[in-house]
Amino acid sequence: MKNNRNKNHESAFAAAVEKKIQETISKGKDNKLSSEPKPKSGKGL
CA-to-CA distance for 36 and 9, rounded, in angstroms?
A: 29
What is the Cα–Cα distance from 13 to 21, expressed in whole angstroms?
A: 12
Cα(38)–Cα(5) distance, integer angstroms? 30
**40 sits near other proteins (criterion: CB under 8 A):** yes
Nearest to 27 by CA among 35, 16, 19: 19
The contact mask relative to other proteins for 10-39 (x = CB under 8 A, - = no) is x--xx-xxx-xx--xxx----xxxx-xxxx
Whose Cβ is closer to other proteins: residue 2's or residue 32's? 32
The yes or no reply on residue 8 touching other proteins (CB under 8 A) is no
Contact residues for other proteins, defined by CB under 8 A: 6, 10, 13-14, 16-18, 20-21, 24-26, 31-34, 36-45
